[in-house]
C-alpha cells in the first residue's frame, strides 16, 4: 500500500487557486523530490498536506497509509506519522528544545497508546539522535530555534524527524541557507533515516541537495501542477537547462 | 460560575439587618463607615490606644480623599457606605461531602492537581480527622519560635509584640498614602505579621505550609514583614487554587522593611474570582504593596503571578534607601474575558549605587485589558544608580489590549536606566509548528505562554512555579482556537 496517495488535489488561499490538481503516489522506501520554480506551489503542497488551515482544499483526496488525511487535524496528522521539516522553522522563546521535543514525542506515543517516555530514556534517545547530526548536547537546553543559525535550525528539524520517526517526512527547502559542510551533515542525517518503512518527499528549488540525497523520482511542479516526472537525471537536466524548456501545463477548467 | 455572581449580588443588595446599638454582640457590624464603627472595630479587637489613633487619623484623612482616577480601568463607582467593615471570622455553612460542591470548581481543582483533602478544606467540606493541617502548622510555629522568628496573624502580633507593630506600622505605607491604603489603615481586619531577627535565615518558605489556613482571606488585610540586619525570609502569599470569596472589594496593604544586609523575597499568586465570561461579578483588587530597603546592601524582591480578579490595581514598589540596596519586580499579569489589570511597580532610588530590575510579562486574551505602569525615580543623591526594565506583552486574539506606561525620572547624572519593551501576538506560526509535531492546541498555548513567562517563573519557589504554570493554563482555557 502506498504511504502517500494524492489524487487531483486542489487548494488555494483567499479565493486564489494555487494547487491545480496534483497527483502523486509514494510507496514506503521511496524518496521523491519535487522541484519547481519559485512560487510554483511547492510549499503550499507541503503545508496543505500538514493541515495548515490558512489554505482551503477545494478538491481531490489524500491518503496517508490508507487513511483519509484531509479529515484529520494537523496534530492528528503528525501523530499518524506525517512530519514536515519547515522551510522557516519557528522560534518559541523560553521553551527549551528538549521540553518541546519531549512533549511532541509523548503526544505521538500517547496517540498510539504507548506509555510516556521518562526523562532518562528520553535523554538517552536524544543523545543517540544528536550524534547522528553532529549536534552539541547544549542544544537541548536552548529555546526552540531562538537565536539559532540557519544551519542549526535545519539540523534541529532533522533531529526532530529522527526522534519522531515518521512514516512520511516532507522536507521543505531543507537545503536553503546551508553552507556545504552543514548541507553534508543534514543530508547525512536524512540518508540515515531512509528506510524500507518510510517515505520521503523532498521539496527543493535547487538540484544541489539531490547530489547528497539521491531521489528515486523527481517531479516538476509548475503553476500548481506536476508537469513532468522522471528519475534523478531529470534533476540534472533541470540544473543544466532551467525550467523554461518545459512546456506550459495543460489548461485547467 | 454563576453561583458566585449571585452571591455577590445578593450581598450587595442585602438589607440593613441589625441595629447598631442593640446588637453589638452580633457577628457583623452594620454597613457603612463612621468613627463609631472604627472605634467599635478597635474595641472588639481589644486593641491598644496607638492603633485606634492610627485608624482614626487614617479615617479622618480618608474623608478628604477621592478614589484615584488615573488607572486604565473602568468600573462603576463603589458605594463605601454599602460595605460591612467588620465581621468576625464567619463559620461558613459546612458541606457534608464534595458532591455538594459546584462541579466546575471541582473540575478546576482536579486540573490543578489539588489533593483531595485540600479540595475539601478549600471548598469548606467537613474533613475527617486523618488530615490535620493544624498540627502541621503548630510544629512549624514551634520551630520558627526557636529561631526567634515571629510569624502569625497581625492581631496576634498586636497583642504579643505591640512595640514592634507600633515601630513599623505605617513606616513604609503611611496612613495617608492613597485612597485605598488609607481606607485599609482605618478599617483593616487582620493579616500576617512576620519578624525575622538579626542574622537569622528563615529556614522555610513562610506560608507554604499554611496555605490551607489562609483560606479566609480578609477584605482589608494588613501585612507587615521585618527582616533585621542580615536576616533572610521568603514569604508566599496566596493560593493557586481558586477561592470563592464573597467580598467584591479588596484593599490590602503590605509593608516590608529590610535592614542592613537583609533580604526579603515576597511571592504572590493571586487567583481570585475574575467574574464570568461576560464580565459579571468578580473581585476588585486594589492593593498597596511597598518595601523599604532601609539598610545598606539590603534586597527586596517582589514576584507576582496575577491571574484572578475582575480588576487588579497593584504596584508593588521598593524604596531603595540604603546604599547598594537592590529592588526587584518580576510580574506575570493575565487579563482574560473582561478582566482589567493595571499593574507595575515603582522603584525609588535614594541611596548610592542602588540597583533595580523590573521584568513584566502581560498576557491579554478575550476582551482583557492589561496595563503596565511603572515609575523609576532616581533622586539627586543616588549616585551610580542603575535600573533595567523589560516589559513584554503577549496578545491572544484581537479583541484584547496591552498598554505600557513607563515613567522615568532622573535627578542624577551618574545614573542609568535601560528600558526594553515588546508586544507580540501568539503566533499562528508557533501554534501550527507545535501542532505539526503532534502537540494539541491547548498544550501548545500553555507551552508558548509558559515560555513567555519563564523569566518570572524562575524567580518563584519551585513548587509555586509549577502550580503557577498550571494555573495560567486553566485561566486561559478556551481562549485560543
Ligand atoms: N499565505 C499566502 N498568502 C497569499 N499567497 C500565498 C500564500 N502562500 C503562498 N501564496 C502564493 O501561492 C503561490 C505558491 O507559493 P509557494 O507554495 O510558497 O511556492 P514555492 O514554495 O513553490 O515557492 C505563490 O504565488 C505565492 O505568492
Ligand atoms: Mg517554498
Given the DSSP bridges, would you call strands B386-396 and B355-365 parallel, antiparallel or unpaired?
A: parallel
Whether the CB-CB separation of B480 and B431 falls below 8 Å is answered with yes
* Overall average pLDDT of the A156-179 stretch: 92
Quick one: which atom of ligand 1 is closest to the CA of A224?
Answer: 14
**Top-confidence residue, A151 or B278:** A151
Task: Give me chain B's average pLDDT, please.
Answer: 80
What pTM did the predictor assign?
Answer: 0.79
Which chain A residue lies closest to B438 (C-alpha atoms)?
A: A75
Which pLDDT tens digit goes with each residue over B89-100? 444 455 667 677
Which pLDDT tens digit goes with each residue over A26-59? 999 999 999 998 899 999 999 999 999 999 999 9
Rounded to whole angstroms, the Cα distance separating A172 from A43 reads 7
CA of B437 to the centre of ligand 1 (A): 23
Interface residue B465 vs chain A (CB under 8 A)? no
Number of CB pairs < 8 Å for A and B? 76
pLDDT at B167: 96
Whether the CB-CB separation of A126 and A188 falls below 8 Å is answered with no
Say whether B179 sits in a helix, a strand or coil: helix
CA distances from A16 to A54, A56, A58, A223, A224 (A): 12, 10, 11, 12, 12
Which pLDDT tens digit goes with each residue over B322-362? 999 999 999 998 888 887 878 899 999 999 999 999 999 99
pLDDT at B111: 64
Does the predicted interface ipTM exceed a cut of 0.85? yes
- Which of B122-131, B150-159, B231-240 shows the highest mean pLDDT? B150-159
Which pLDDT tens digit goes with each residue over B254-290? 999 999 999 999 998 877 777 777 767 777 888 999 9
Q: Which B residues, 137 through 166, put their C-beta within 8 Å of a C-beta on chain A? A: none
Ligand having the closest approach to the CA of A38: 1
Ligand 1 pocket test, pick from A43, A46, A175 with the greatest ligand atom count within 8 Å of Cβ, gives: A43
* Overall average pLDDT of the B444-464 stretch: 87
3-state secondary structure A70-115: HHCCHHHHHHCCEEEECCCCCCEEEEEHHHHHHHHHHHHHHHCCCC
pLDDT at B293: 97
Contact B447 A78 (CB under 8 A): no
Rounded to whole angstroms, the Cα distance separating B252 from B283 reads 13
The C-alpha cell 513567562 sits at B453
The C-alpha cell 487619623 sits at B57
Amino acid at each position: 500500500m502506498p504511504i502517500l496517495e494524492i489524487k487531483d488535489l486542489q487548494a488555494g488561499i483567499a479565493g486564489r487557486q494555487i494547487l491545480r490538481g496534483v497527483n502523486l503516489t509514494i510507496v514506503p522506501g521511496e524518496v521523491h523530490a519535487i522541484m519547481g520554480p519559485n512560487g510554483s506551489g511547492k510549499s503550499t503542497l507541503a503545508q496543505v498536506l500538514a493541515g495548515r488551515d490558512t489554505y482551503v482544499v477545494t478538491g481531490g483526496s489524500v491518503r496517508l497509509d490508507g487513511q483519509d488525511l484531509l479529515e484529520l487535524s494537523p496534530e492528528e496528522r503528525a501523530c499518524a506519522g506525517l512530519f514536515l521539516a519547515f522551510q522557516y522553522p519557528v522560534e518559541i522563546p523560553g521553551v527549551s528544545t528538549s521540553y518541546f521535543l519531549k512533549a511532541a514525542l509523548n503526544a505521538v506515543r500517547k496517540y498510539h497508546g504507548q506509555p510516556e517516555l521518562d526523562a532518562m530514556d528520553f535523554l538517552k534517545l536524544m543523545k543517540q539522535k544528536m550524534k547522528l547530526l553532529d549536534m552539541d548536547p547544549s542544544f537541548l537546553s536552548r529555546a526552540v530555534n531562538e537565536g539559532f543559525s540557519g544551519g542549526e535550525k535545519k539540523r534541529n528539524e532533522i533531529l526532530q524527524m529522527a526522534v519522531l520517526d515518521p512514516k512520511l517526512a516532507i522536507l521543505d527547502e531543507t537545503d536553503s541557507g546551508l553552507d556545504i559542510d552543514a548541507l553534508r551533515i543534514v543530508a547525512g542525517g536524512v540518508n540515515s533515516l531512509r528506510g524500507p518503512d518510510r517515505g520521503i518527499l523532498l521539496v527543493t528549488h535547487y538540484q544541489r541537495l539531490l547530489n547528497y540525497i539521491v531521489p528515486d523520482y523527481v517531479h516538476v511542479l509548475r503553476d500548481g501542477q506536476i508537469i513532468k516526472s522522471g528519475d534523478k537525471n531529470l534533476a540534472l537536466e533541470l540544473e543544466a537547462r532551467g525550467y523554461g524548456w518545459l512546456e506550459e501545463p495543460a489548461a485547467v477548467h | 460560575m454563576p453561583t458566585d455572581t449571585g452571591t455577590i449580588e445578593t450581598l450587595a443588595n442585602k438589607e440593613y439587618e441589625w441595629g447598631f446599638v442593640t446588637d453589638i454582640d452580633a457577628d457583623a457590624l452594620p454597613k457603612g463607615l463612621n468613627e463609631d464603627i472604627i472605634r467599635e472595630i478597635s474595641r472588639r479587637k481589644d486593641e491598644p490606644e496607638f492603633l485606634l489613633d492610627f485608624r482614626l487619623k487614617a479615617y479622618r484623612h480618608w474623608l478628604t480623599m477621592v478614589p484615584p482616577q488615573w488607572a486604565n480601568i473602568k468600573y462603576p463607582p463603589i458605594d463605601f457606605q454599602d460595605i460591612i467593615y467588620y465581621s468576625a471570622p464567619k463559620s461558613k455553612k459546612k458541606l457534608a461531602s464534595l458532591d455538594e460542591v459546584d462541579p466546575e470548581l471541582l473540575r478546576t481543582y482536579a486540573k490543578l492537581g489539588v489533593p483531595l483533602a485540600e479540595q475539601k478544606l478549600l471548598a469548606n467540606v467537613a474533613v475527617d480527622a486523618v488530615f490535620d493541617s493544624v498540627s502541621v502548622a503548630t510544629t512549624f510555629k514551634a520551630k520558627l519560635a526557636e529561631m526567634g522568628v515571629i510569624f502569625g496573624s497581625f492581631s496576634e502580633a498586636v497583642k504579643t509584640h505591640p512595640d514592634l507593630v507600633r515601630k513599623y506600622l505605617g513606616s513604609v505605607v503611611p496612613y495617608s498614602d492613597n485612597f485605598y491604603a488609607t481606607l485599609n489603615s482605618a478599617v483593616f481586619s487582620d493579616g500576617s505579621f512576620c519578624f525575622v531577627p538579626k542574622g537569622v535565615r528563615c529556614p522555610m518558605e513562610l506560608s507554604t505550609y499554611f496555605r490551607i489556613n489562609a483560606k479566609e482571606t480578609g477584605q482589608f488585610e494588613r501585612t507587615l514583614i521585618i527582616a533585621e540586619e542580615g536576616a533572610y525570609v521568603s514569604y508566599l502569599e496566596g493560593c493557586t487554587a481558586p477561592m470563592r470569596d464573597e467580598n467584591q472589594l479588596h484593599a490590602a496593604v503590605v509593608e516590608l522593611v529590610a535592614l542592613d544586609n537583609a533580604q526579603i523575597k515576597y511571592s504572590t499568586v493571586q487567583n481570585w474570582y475574575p467574574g464570568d465570561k461576560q464580565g459579571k461579578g468578580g473581585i476588585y483588587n486594589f492593593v498597596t504593596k511597598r518595601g523599604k530597603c532601609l539598610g545598606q546592601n539590603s534586597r527586596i524582591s517582589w514576584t507576582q503571578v496575577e491571574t484572578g480578579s475582575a480588576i487588579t490595581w497593584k504596584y508593588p514598589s521598593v524604596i531603595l534607601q540604603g546604599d547598594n540596596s537592590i529592588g526587584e519586580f518580576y510580574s506575570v499579569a493575565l487579563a482574560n474575558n473582561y478582566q482589567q489589570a493595571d499593574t507595575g511597580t515603582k522603584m525609588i532610588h535614594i541611596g548610592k549605587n542602588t540597583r533595580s530590575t523590573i521584568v513584566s510579562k502581560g498576557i491579554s486574551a478575550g476582551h482583557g485589558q492589561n496595563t503596565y505602569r511603572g515609575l523609576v525615580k532616581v533622586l539627586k543623591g543616588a549616585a551610580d544608580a542603575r535600573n533595567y526594565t523589560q516589559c513584554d506583552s503577549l496578545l491572544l486574539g484581537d479583541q484584547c489590549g496591552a498598554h505600557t506606561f513607563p515613567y522615568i525620572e532622573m535627578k542624577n547624572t551618574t545614573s542609568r536606566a535601560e528600558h526594553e519593551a515588546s508586544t507580540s501576538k501568539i503566533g499562528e506560526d508557533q501554534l501550527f509548528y507545535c501542532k505539526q509535531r503532534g502537540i494539541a492546541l491547548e498544550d501548545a498555548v500553555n507551552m508558548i505562554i509558559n515560555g513567555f513567562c519563564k523569566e518570572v517563573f524562575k524567580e518563584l519557589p519551585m513548587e509555586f512555579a509549577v502550580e503557577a504554570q498550571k494555573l495560567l493554563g486553566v485561566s486561559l482555557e478556551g481562549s485560543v482556537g
